[in-house]
Amino acid sequence: MERRTIFAGWKLPLLLVAPQLVLTFVFFYWPALVAAYESLTRTDAFGIHVVFVGLANFRDLFADPLYRAAILRTVEFCAAVTALSLGLGLVLAVAADRELRGRNLYRVLMIWPYAVAPAVSAVLWILLLNPQIGLVGRFLIAHGIRWDYALNGSQAMLMVVLASAWKQVSYNFIFVLAGLQSIPKAVIEAARMDGARGLYRFRTVVLPLLSPTLFFLVVVDLVYAAFDTFGTIWAMTQGGPAQATQTLVVKVYNDGVVNLDLGSSSAQSVVLMVGVVALTALQFRFLGRRSGT
């Protein structure tokens, strides 16, 4: 990564890097410090005195069964969204990788949902699944299923998973297709000549070569499901019924903005940041291995 030819001088480069550094410090490091500080303090009931409480907010947080339930729920939600969107993206990409008539059109048709806002995908799925007006929702009720995601927690969870995964399939499709196309044709040809066919060839030859891409996508999908789905969930269920669809980010918003419990919400932010940094480190190790930097 090091160049041999460079330009002389140090004032100009410092000037060039300054805008990004300033923004990074103001909008990343400063908030992170604020969060860290507030997570260690508590404001009294009248909002006058700020008391230093050490790790008490964190102790309370992890002792709180609601928070532990939210962690578990977030893990389940992320796993479901990742499995569904990656699985579907994989199937569609394998189909689109063939020399088909109209494959360019197919590709456009698979890629455009990338542009749909999470909150808009929620609205579209309400139109499908709402028990009063939804096309599928009414169908279910007409067939004797008690479908009402405003009352039934598991149905609400199913609904936010579907709407969240739907939008993310495109991203997985793009990367898996690119991964498939970077596999040398000679490798596939050799496997074919050895008599490996169909699913067996896919499992033993293609899948191992694809595994770095798949690993990358698992991390990206998990991060998407954990953070970018707030709009989807908030528009559909606001985390309810009860807390059935309250993921960690929804809880941070609820506790911080709606209930104004700054200490707990800051402690939650700190926990999330640590989680994200861990995921980044995981991905960086993987990225580093691939590009050799």
Partner 1 sequence: MRRSANWLAHSVLILGALLFALPIWLAFCAATLDPAAIDRGELSLIPRLDHIGSFWDVLVHGGPGVPPVWRMLVVSFGMALAIAIGKIVISILSAFAVVFFRFPLRRTAFWAIFVTLMLPVEVRIIPTYAVMGDLHMIDTFPGLAVPLIASATATLLFRQTFAAIPDELVEAARMDGAGPLRFLKDILIPVSAANLAALFVILFVYGWNQYLWPLVVATSPNLDTIVIGIVKMIGIDTSTEWNKVMATAVIALIPPVAVVVSMQRWFVRGLTEGEK
Q: Which is nearer to partner 1, 153 or 231 (CB)?
A: 231
Query: Per CB under 8 A, does 216 bind partner 1?
Result: yes
Contact 90, 176 (CB under 8 A): yes
Query: Per CB under 8 A, does 138 bind partner 1?
Result: yes
Contact 42, 57 (CB under 8 A): yes
Query: Per CB under 8 A, does 220 bind partner 1?
Result: yes
Report the DSSP beta bridge partners of residue 42. Answer: 51
Distance (Å, rounded) from C-alpha 68 to C-alpha 140? Answer: 33
Q: How far is the CB of 66 from partner 1 (least distance, A)?
A: 18
Query: Per CB under 8 A, does 21 bind partner 1?
Result: yes
Query: Per CB under 8 A, does 118 bind partner 1?
Result: yes
Query: Per CB under 8 A, does 3 bind partner 1?
Result: yes
Query: Per CB under 8 A, does 262 bind partner 1?
Result: yes
Distance (Å, rounded) from C-alpha 180 to C-alpha 220? Answer: 18
Site string for partner 1, 40-69 (x = CB under 8 A): ------------------------------
Closest CA to 168 of 213, 212, 110: 110
Q: Which is nearer to partner 1, 98 or 143 (CB)?
A: 98
Choice from 239, 249, 251, 254 touching partner 1 (CB under 8 A): 249
Q: Which stretch binds partner 1 (CB under 8 A): 57-65, 78-86, 188-196, 256-264?
A: 256-264
224-243 residues in contact with partner 1 (CB under 8 A) are 227-228, 230-231, 234-235
DSSP codes joined into one string, 83-95: HHHHHHHHHHHHH
Distance (Å, rounded) from C-alpha 203 to C-alpha 197? Answer: 10
Q: Which is nearer to partner 1, 71 or 111 (CB)?
A: 111
89-108 residues in contact with partner 1 (CB under 8 A) are 91-92, 94-96, 98, 100, 106-108
Taking CA atoms, 40 is separated from 6, 54, 206, in Å, by 46, 5, 50
For residue 51, report the phi and psi dihedrals to the nearest 5 degrees: -115, 140
Distance (Å, rounded) from C-alpha 97 to C-alpha 84? Answer: 20
Query: Per CB under 8 A, does 27 bind partner 1?
Result: yes
